[in-house]
Amino acid sequence: MMYLLVAAIVITVGTTYALWMMEQGNYTNVWAVGRGAILVVGVASCVVLGLLHLRREMLHDRAREDELSKLKTDFVSHVSHELRTPLSSIKAYAELLVDGEATDDKTRSEFYHIIQSEADRLSRLIDNILNISCIESGMTRVTRKPVALNTILKQVLEVAKPSAREKNVSLVDQVEPVFFSVEADRDMIYQAALNLVSNAIKYTPSGGTVRISLGAQDESKELVVQVSDTGVGIPPDAMKHLFEKFFRVEQHKSMAKGSGLGLNLTRQIIEGIHKGRMIVKSEYGKGSTFGFALPIAA
């Protein structure tokens, strides 16, 4: 926009100068009037263009501010909704227990378990929200060290085993012994890998398989972790929203509990902090592969 302003000034000055030159050549008064008129038009257009430019910049800033503030409000309203939901269950079931409305042992035991699992859900949610907020505000302390991904993945497999067994999903270990390491924050990579594996287990029906693999790729420039499942897959129209905060695939909401923060956090860890890249492939109804590639330490 600035160049238009400059152009207008140049044209005005140029024309005025040209007319002045002509006047020197002893022309009539007409030229003096013309010169004055052009000068006025030139100055006026400079002022108008300048004002338009200013106004546009202000509108642009306003729109950006509005957008940011809407994002913040949406986030707060989402967080508040997501926190209130498990807390509602905890509060309501506890009150029923206190009031003696659960009349037999079976019901009471069921209530205790609901309270416990909803409290777990609440604390996972708080962890995720805090982790994301810390990463976004640059407050996360990242400890980069050479990390062997084999070891981390073996630990993830170990931790995920019970939930897979409970759902009758077989966990297949295809982690090859690679000798390269990556320069990374151990705990964060563990969190990212665990998120992908537990998602795969969550969205794979009983009898299915989840495979975890590790290998070097791209002429040994990066290490690739992949988690493939024979699960429900992702509908094509949901693919572009997968990493949005609080996004959950409508069709699969009833399959498993979740806040819709896990993948966002995983991507922030992999792409934002470790300069790696996320891998997503999915065939709706057949299964998905989620993974990440990290540059091998020199």
Partner 1 sequence: MSTSKTILAVDDESHILHVVSLKLRNAGFNVITANDAEDAFDLAMTSGCSFGVGGCGACGGATIDLVITDFQMPGISGLELARKLHAEPGKSDLPVMLLTAHGLALEQVDLRRAGINVCLSKPFSPRDLLAKVDELLARHKRPPPSPKCAMICSEEVAP
Can you tell me whether residue 56 is helix, strand or coil? helix
Write the binding mask 247 to 266 for partner 1: x where contact by CB under 8 A, - elsewhere: ---x--xx------------
Does 108 contact partner 1 by CB under 8 A? no
Q: Is the dihedral of CA 18, 20, 23, 24 positive or negative?
A: negative
Residue placing its CB nearer to partner 1 in the complex, 77 or 133? 77
Residue 84 touches partner 1, criterion: CB under 8 A: yes
Residues 6+ apart with CB under 8 A from 45: 8, 12
Q: Which residues pair with 197 in a beta bridge?
A: none
Q: In angstroms, what CA-CA distances link 174 with 95, 154, 157, 197, 226?
A: 48, 10, 11, 13, 10
Asked if 116 is part of the footprint of partner 1 (rule: CB under 8 A), the reply reads no
Helix (H, G, I), strand (E, B) or coil at 133: helix
- By CB under 8 A, the count of residues binding partner 1 is 22
Residue closer to partner 1 (CB basis): 92 or 159: 92
Binding mask 203-242 for partner 1 (x = CB under 8 A): ----------------------------------------
CB 205: neighbour CB atoms within 10 A? Answer: 13
Contact 244, 164 (CB under 8 A): no
Choose which of 60, 70, 77, 166 interacts with partner 1 (CB under 8 A).
77
Instruction: Indicate which single residue of 65, 66, 67, 101 sits in contact with partner 1 (rule: CB under 8 A).
Output: 101
Residues at the site binding partner 1, with contacts judged by CB under 8 A: 77, 80-81, 84-85, 87-93, 95-96, 99, 101-102, 114, 118, 250, 253-254
